Structure 1
């Protein structure tokens, strides 16, 4: 994937939006699902967590005292014990999955009972805007937009979370 300037801006914007929430859970163990090919979120929060794991189908090779990445298909069982993480993030990932409830059930399994799930998804309202930016303006990656299986509204997210046993 070739990251455009707008793709980079959107990624930074998502990180900036969720970082304050992550900072509230200082010194936690965090899982970033769909960490991307640079694991930017993990790297940006390294000083706020005890340990962070990024998982993606093709993550960067990263292994430090506090951070690591694991290669895995996201629509399979997550390779972690039950209740392993206090925070799980999934930024701009759910819309790419054919069976989002499956990964949400897995997240519920690996998340501690009082843990937090942080998700970002493109909204239904954003669909025509994203398509215009990708197909007409060519300022965001067309392949990323073509890979979107679904666009969400708040109700959709809450329903998927409840089906997966989350308390919303």
Structure 2
């Protein structure tokens, strides 16, 4: 699958924000929701994890010593047992979700106590720029941007997370000139 020019660069920046959080989790068992067709994030953290599962409707299924990918469409329920993962990531995925509160509840369910939910999601300021880059210049994926349901600011992320019992935001930063959110949420 050929990607528009800017996609790999933006992905590398997102991955760079998240890798250090994962490195800090001893013997990490991680779920990457929306791992993408090439599961780049899971591949980049393989040396730091015990085991990783990636799910996406675009990924080709594979199974190696540490990484497994599952081709599936994200729907109402994650197909994993309660308290299965030390960390769950959603990198540039939340903006595509029709029922974000429900998915966040599912993430909480599959996280172990004290587990981390790590996400990146475009901020509201990013909308016009992303649309310009996709629709006018064609250097990011038009179909992906067209599928965005919502852009988030910190207050909206706080509201979404506070709607799900047992989760709290422990870190938030804007990056890419304030266009993107990086958020670490912990299950308690």
> What is the TM-score with the length of structure 2 in the denominator?
0.86
Q: Secondary structure at the match of 1:73?
A: coil
Match of 1:118 in 2: 118
Match of 1:91 in 2: 91
Aligned 1:42-121 pairs, distance under 5 A: 42-121=42-121
Match of 2:185 in 1: none
Does residue 1:149 correspond to 2:171, yes or no? no
The Cα RMSD (Å) is 1.1
Question: Does the aligned pair in 1 maintain the 2:61–2:71 contact within 8 Å?
Answer: no
Match of 2:137 in 1: 137
Whole-angstrom CA distance in 1 between matches of 2:10 and 2:79? 29
Whole-angstrom CA distance in 1 between matches of 2:99 and 2:128? 23
Instruction: Give the ranges of 4+ consecutive aligned residues of structure 1 lying more than 4 Å apart after TM superposition.
Output: none
Q: Secondary structure at the match of 1:5?
A: coil
Whole-angstrom CA distance in 1 between matches of 2:168 and 2:150? 22
- CA-CA distance at 1:158 after TM superposition: 1.4
Q: Secondary structure at the match of 1:47?
A: helix
Match of 1:19 in 2: 19
- CA-CA distance at 1:31 after TM superposition: 0.3
> What is the TM-score with the length of structure 1 in the denominator?
0.96
Match of 2:127 in 1: 127
Over residues 77-135 of structure 1, what are the superposed CA-to-partner deviations in whole Å (9 max), with x where a residue is unaligned?
A: 11110000001000000000111111100000000111000010010001111011111
Whole-angstrom CA distance in 1 between matches of 2:35 and 2:26? 20
Whole-angstrom CA distance in 2 between matches of 1:137 and 1:26? 43
Whole-angstrom CA distance in 2 between matches of 1:38 and 1:95? 20
The structure with the greater share of residues assigned to helix is: 1
Deviates more, 1:70-79 or 1:31-40: 70-79
Question: Does the aligned pair in 2 maintain the 1:98–1:149 contact within 8 Å?
Answer: yes
Aligned residues: 168
Match of 1:167 in 2: 168
Whole-angstrom CA distance in 1 between matches of 2:139 and 2:57? 24
